Amino acid sequence: MNDIWNWELAWEALPTLLVGFFTVTLLVTVVSTAIAAILGLVIAIARRSAPKPIAAVIRFVIDFIRMTPIVVQLLFAYYAFTNIDPLTIGIAVFGIHYSTYMAEVYRAGIESVPKGQWEATTALSMSRRRTWVAVIIPQAVRATVPALGNYAISMFKDTPFLLSIGVVEMVQAGLVFGGNHFKYIEAITLAGIIFLLASYPTSLLICRLEKRLAFRN
């Protein structure tokens, strides 16, 4: 059994993995999700409100980012901005990349707002800003929270791509530990378990939230 799995080595690897998880993996996920959620909403509103030529440019940029692998984007930013810390680059790239997906979610949410709501704001002579802030955005965001949560989980699971630019997140920390001890199975297995323990409860919470919002609707 020790030839396959060494419990002593596993317990030794655990603190290293947890440090990588909390200081990089979780940090990147939380900050990048916040960036993606805010930027995605801005993009969705801009795409709907802008003149057709500008909206077409926004759509092209969104499609370009979505159809380009995030690893390529990480490497491009890493070599293009050599004076910026790799962790900062990773956070920015993840935030921008996933903002394009969230923008599409927001767009669907905005389009799901009944036409009568738009007409009511016009009848009440509400300003464009107040219409968005007080009427449209709250309804659109409420309808899209579950989908946004799913993208946050996807981002969480994509953080190992940070190793392509030398950021020592949890998986990279496991690889380094395995290399130092000439045995990888314990560290990589534990990294997978930590991903599961973190993402599965979040997934259940999102499902529960989705049902609750659907019930209220």
Task: Render pLDDT for 94-144 as a digit per residue (tens, 0 to 9).
Answer: 999 999 999 999 988 888 777 777 777 777 777 777 888 777 888 777 778
Can you name the CATH fold of 7-216? MetI-like fold (1.10.3720)
7-34 confidence digits (pLDDT tens):
889 999 999 999 999 999 999 999 999 9
57-85 confidence digits (pLDDT tens):
999 999 999 999 999 999 999 999 999 99
What integer pLDDT is reported at residue 85 of this predicted model?
A: 95
Rounded Cα distance, 162 and 90, in Å: 6
Rounded Cα distance, 134 and 153, in Å: 29
H helices of 21-136, in order, are 26-49, 52-66, 70-80, 86-111, 115-123, 128-130
Domain ranges in the chain? 7-216
Beta carbons of 163 and 169 less than 8 angstroms apart: yes
Token representation of residue 120: 């009511």
Average pLDDT score over residue span 25-54: 92
What integer pLDDT is reported at residue 217 of this predicted model?
A: 52
pTM of the predicted model as reported, rounded to 2 decimal places: 0.88
DSSP string computed for 175-201: HHHHHHHT--HHHHHHHHHHHHHHHHH
Average pLDDT score over residue span 191-198: 93
Percent of the chain with pLDDT over 90: 61
Question: Is residue 1 predicted with pLDDT exceeding 70?
Answer: no
Mean pLDDT of the chain: 88
Percent of the chain with pLDDT over 70: 96
Rounded Cα distance, 55 and 50, in Å: 6
